[in-house]
Chains A and B, each alone.
Chain A
């Protein structure tokens, strides 16, 4: 298919439809509104449902209902709306329903502002709602990946019967880039557990209730082993100039794009620095980080985020004290300049 020059937010919807999503329920919020608008444009054309819900709470519960019938369904929002979806996400995870939730993160806490932040990392990656659950979390850094990872999110979410979150920021959502759209997905595994209003489904139940403590513990253990399988099979990351790197910068989403440019400049100055970019945040590439930390050549890690330092905890856990782990973050919607990044990376690497 032809390459198309599109906004990240638009690429999400086109990718979703190509992945077979036929239900979009959402509530407008900047900087994610283009997702709802694009879905409103295209869902009716492909015979799907677009509905502007009365709230994010309603939207995620509509997704719960739609997903319970076995169809691919999604919702999208930005940080304040993502908070409201946490209740629903907990129920979806508990009932083992697939779905895709997009969060185009903005500045917080509270109403904050509409500029890009990465401050919902913990909420997205550590569960976010109540209970011992996790969602799969994918972090695109380009318009192309907004499409590709949304499609992957649907695939993984169905495969593991678990909600998947596409976690991006205002920049990736607003940015336009060429996207090579793949062919539509045509094969879907049968969902024997779904409730479809037909005779053969009359024993099917979508529920997150387990009254007996032993049953609920078993259910929770099953969820935990599912997350372990996901960790073993689905961890994805990208490496940039790590072969001879003495310093490893870790950043995801828009930050990885900035770091990429900063690294090129640092390399020109002879600094042996590379980057590890997590593409999946749950599962997290902890094993790869531990391997890197064990290399003699690697002297230190630096984590860069548009937050107060949330992902850095996961890097510290993975590195487990083997090497120093430094952090630099900006908040409030401010994005570091390349000059600032180069300076900060040097400071953290103590090569100033």
Chain B
């Protein structure tokens, strides 16, 4: 009877057009099923609060999978157990909507245990209705995580046992133990009184969401005459005599009056502001490329290697940043995968006049070795006529090869003279800019303030670079 009234006030559709077959007026639920009663209470509350049109209803997998036949709202049907995750995605996108996440006991407490726990723990601003009928109704009366000890189902034909399946799970108690939820109550669909109490809980759970109070969870002990193989009155009686003994009713948590409404407003940036906000405008620079003299015709393939923490990767990034501003094609790739074996960190940098194919450097034109193992490991790979820049403060014996240019730089020593061994890689950058003909010191100097992200270290970095540059120039002459 209430269906008709609600139909007019638009909690439910007037006729259930999505329902297959000719019967477009009645629900698909079995007579005496708790789902239908709960549906009515939800629809009624939404209409009374005048938010029916703002509802997004998430239906689960279970007997209530077809809730979208009835609710006059935007409906989203979720995968088994995932309704709280789907509800999260909806509510975050539509903070002004009223999101109802509706689940059965298999859906919520078994397959979707993780999703409900975390949605509750995050305090998603949604209302969850948890229909505990101690059985899998939809699939033919199998055991649910809430099935009672001794209860016979099609998958516990001898009755659920402690040893095999453990205790029935008490979701209201679990959810109430979390800090975020504002309201957790367990109600039942048995007699008039208990249904009235249930109606009140439904309304409160929805009102909390309207008032932006946070996560509300209403567990409903609900009849499944079909799964329980009982008549409707027997089912209500079984809830009262048996089910409720295992799942005590009550308000497990209610802090809704104590908490401030959440600020859920979205602050979407206008498109014009996007590039700045994601850091795409910060290093725009005026650059006089015409004045640059990049003498090197030859493409550079550089390998930089050392211990982790020596700034190996950063040095490679700086070289690439400079190369990019010299209008070269550049690539950088860190040691990764099998390359990482052996305890050295290294990176590969390519600076090329043509588009770069493989970003990997197997035969460097320049090897920067910042520790002994790196020199040992990569010395043989350097091309004939290439250069090996090595930290002579850390490596006692230099390269053995005579067909390469050996450039000893006491980088760590110089850096420690500046009071910070961490800038040894900056000294090496200066040396490379000084002696090589593929880095234009002018460009490098313009780029440095941009690439040194830590502004408080800019001064010492510039000094270290200058020292390296002088050293590099001496080496060149």
Q: Give chain A's interface residues, CB within 8 Å of chain B.
A: 1-5, 13-14, 17-18, 22-23, 25, 31, 42, 45-49, 51, 53-55, 57-59, 61-69, 71, 73, 87-88, 91, 95, 113-116, 170-171, 174-178, 181, 183-186, 195-199, 201-202, 204-209, 211-212, 257-262, 264, 333-335, 337-339
- Contact yes or no, B89 A197, CB < 8 A: no
Residue of B nearest to A255 (CB): B358
In the complex, A4→B136 CA distance in Å?
55
Q: Which single member of A95, A206, A257 contacts B357 (CB below 8 Å)?
A: A257
- Contact yes or no, A61 B79, CB < 8 A: yes
- Contact yes or no, A87 B114, CB < 8 A: no
Residue numbers in B under 8 Å from A31 (CB-CB)? 336
Residue of A nearest to B320 (CB): A5
Q: Which single member of B75, B88, B285, B333 contacts A65 (CB below 8 Å)?
A: B88
- Contact yes or no, B266 A47, CB < 8 A: yes
Residue of A nearest to B82 (CB): A61
| Contact (A23, B96) CB under 8 Å given A5-B324, A176-B332, A258-B358 | no
Q: Which single member of B87, B94, B277, B332 contacts A46 (CB below 8 Å)?
A: B277
The prevalent SS among residues of B at the interface is: mixed
Residue of B nearest to A115 (CB): B337
Among B48-56, B157-165, B402-410, which stretch is in contact with chain A? Answer: B48-56
The prevalent SS among residues of A at the interface is: mixed
Q: What is the minimal beta-carbon distance from B46 to any residue of chain A, in angstroms?
A: 12
- Contact yes or no, A205 B68, CB < 8 A: yes
18 A-B contact pairs sorted by A residue (CB < 8 Å): A2-B283, A46-B273, A47-B269, A53-B85, A58-B115, A66-B92, A69-B56, A69-B90, A88-B79, A116-B336, A116-B337, A177-B330, A181-B275, A185-B271, A197-B96, A202-B74, A207-B76, A212-B20
- Contact yes or no, B358 A261, CB < 8 A: yes
Interface presence of B414 (CB below 8 A): no
Chain B's interface size range is 35 or more
- Contact yes or no, B93 A69, CB < 8 A: yes
Q: What is the minimal beta-carbon distance from A211 to any residue of chain B, in angstroms?
A: 6
| Contact (A176, B320) CB under 8 Å given A62-B88, A171-B333 | yes
- Digitize B77-110: 1 where CB-to-A-CB distance is under 8 Å, 0 elsewhere: 1110010011111111110111100000000000
Q: Which single member of B58, B98, B99, B333 contacts A176 (CB below 8 Å)?
A: B333
Residue of A nearest to B69 (CB): A205
| Contact (A22, B268) CB under 8 Å given A62-B88, A197-B97, A207-B76 | yes
- Contact yes or no, B86 A68, CB < 8 A: yes
| Contact (A335, B317) CB under 8 Å given A61-B82, A177-B330 | no
Q: Which single member of A47, A64, A171, A337 contacts B86 (CB below 8 Å)?
A: A64
| Contact (A335, B337) CB under 8 Å given A184-B274, A209-B77 | yes
| Contact (A23, B114) CB under 8 Å given A5-B330, A202-B73 | no
Q: Give chain B's interface residues, CB within 8 Å of chain A.
A: 18, 20, 53-56, 58, 65, 68, 72-79, 82, 85-94, 96-99, 114-115, 117-118, 266-269, 271-275, 277-281, 283-285, 317, 320-321, 324, 329-334, 336-338, 356-360, 362
Closest A-B pairs by Cβ, 3 of them = A65-B89, A197-B97, A115-B337
- Contact yes or no, B331 A175, CB < 8 A: yes
Q: What is the minimal beta-carbon distance from B122 to any residue of chain A, in angstroms?
A: 8
- Contact yes or no, B20 A211, CB < 8 A: yes
Residue of B nearest to A4 (CB): B280
Q: Which single member of A1, A13, A45, A68 contacts B269 (CB below 8 Å)?
A: A45
Q: What is the minimal beta-carbon distance from A14 to any residue of chain B, in angstroms?
A: 5
Q: Which single member of A42, A195, A208, A212 contacts B56 (CB below 8 Å)?
A: A195
Residue numbers in A under 8 Å from B78 (CB-CB)? 61, 64-65, 91
Q: What is the minimal beta-carbon distance from A215 to any residue of chain B, in angstroms?
A: 9
In the complex, A80→B285 CA distance in Å?
42
- Contact yes or no, B274 A69, CB < 8 A: no
In the complex, A211→B283 CA distance in Å?
56
Q: Please indicate which of the listed interface residues A116, A185, A209, A334 has the most CB atoms of chain B within 10 Å of its own CB.
A: A209
Residue of A nearest to B329 (CB): A178
| Contact (A338, B358) CB under 8 Å given A197-B55, A197-B56 | yes
- Contact yes or no, A49 B93, CB < 8 A: yes
| Contact (A204, B75) CB under 8 Å given A4-B280, A31-B336, A175-B332 | yes
- Contact yes or no, B278 A174, CB < 8 A: no
| Contact (A23, B92) CB under 8 Å given A174-B334, A333-B338, A335-B360 | yes
- Contact yes or no, B97 A196, CB < 8 A: yes
- Contact yes or no, B271 A45, CB < 8 A: no
* CB within 8 Å: A-B pair count: 242
Residue of B nearest to A240 (CB): B357
In the complex, A61→B330 CA distance in Å?
39
- Contact yes or no, B271 A186, CB < 8 A: yes
Q: Which single member of B56, B274, B321, B362 contacts A5 (CB below 8 Å)?
A: B321
Residue numbers in B under 8 Å from A73 (CB-CB)? 89, 93
Residue numbers in A under 8 Å from B277 (CB-CB)? 42, 45-46
Q: Which single member of A57, A62, A209, A258 contacts B65 (CB below 8 Å)?
A: A209
In the complex, A176→B284 CA distance in Å?
18
In the complex, A2→B337 CA distance in Å?
32
In the complex, A62→B324 CA distance in Å?
39
Residue numbers in B under 8 Å from A69 (CB-CB)? 56, 89-90, 93-94
- Contact yes or no, A61 B85, CB < 8 A: yes
In the complex, A14→B271 CA distance in Å?
13
Residue numbers in A under 8 Å from B321 (CB-CB)? 5
In the complex, A186→B268 CA distance in Å?
13
Residue numbers in B under 8 Å from A201 (CB-CB)? 74
Residue numbers in A under 8 Å from B75 (CB-CB)? 195, 204-207
- Contact yes or no, A196 B74, CB < 8 A: yes
Residue of A nearest to B283 (CB): A2
A45-B278, A65-B89 known; 10 new pairs, CB 8 Å cut-off, are A22-B93, A87-B79, A116-B336, A174-B334, A184-B274, A197-B53, A197-B94, A198-B54, A209-B77, A258-B357
Residue numbers in B under 8 Å from A262 (CB-CB)? 357-358
| Contact (A58, B93) CB under 8 Å given A46-B269, A197-B55, A205-B75 | no
| Contact (A47, B90) CB under 8 Å given A4-B280, A195-B76, A257-B358 | no
Residue numbers in B under 8 Å from A183 (CB-CB)? 275
Q: What is the minimal beta-carbon distance from B268 to any residue of chain A, in angstroms?
A: 4
Residue numbers in A under 8 Å from B334 (CB-CB)? 174
| Contact (A177, B73) CB under 8 Å given A65-B89, A66-B93 | no
Residue numbers in A under 8 Å from B359 (CB-CB)? 171, 175, 177, 257
Residue numbers in A under 8 Å from B114 (CB-CB)? 54-55, 57-58
Residue of A nearest to B317 (CB): A176
In the complex, A258→B88 CA distance in Å?
43
Residue numbers in B under 8 Å from A88 (CB-CB)? 79, 82
In the complex, A258→B332 CA distance in Å?
15
In the complex, A335→B114 CA distance in Å?
38
Q: What is the minimal beta-carbon distance from A66 to any residue of chain B, in angstroms?
A: 4
- Contact yes or no, B330 A114, CB < 8 A: no
Q: What is the minimal beta-carbon distance from B2 to any residue of chain A, in angstroms?
A: 20
- Contact yes or no, B271 A23, CB < 8 A: no
| Contact (A14, B280) CB under 8 Å given A49-B93, A115-B336 | yes
Q: Which single member of A62, A174, A205 contacts B77 (CB below 8 Å)?
A: A205
- Contact yes or no, A206 B275, CB < 8 A: no
Residue of B nearest to A69 (CB): B93
In the complex, A91→B59 CA distance in Å?
14
Residue of B nearest to A178 (CB): B324
| Contact (A333, B79) CB under 8 Å given A53-B85, A177-B330, A257-B357 | no
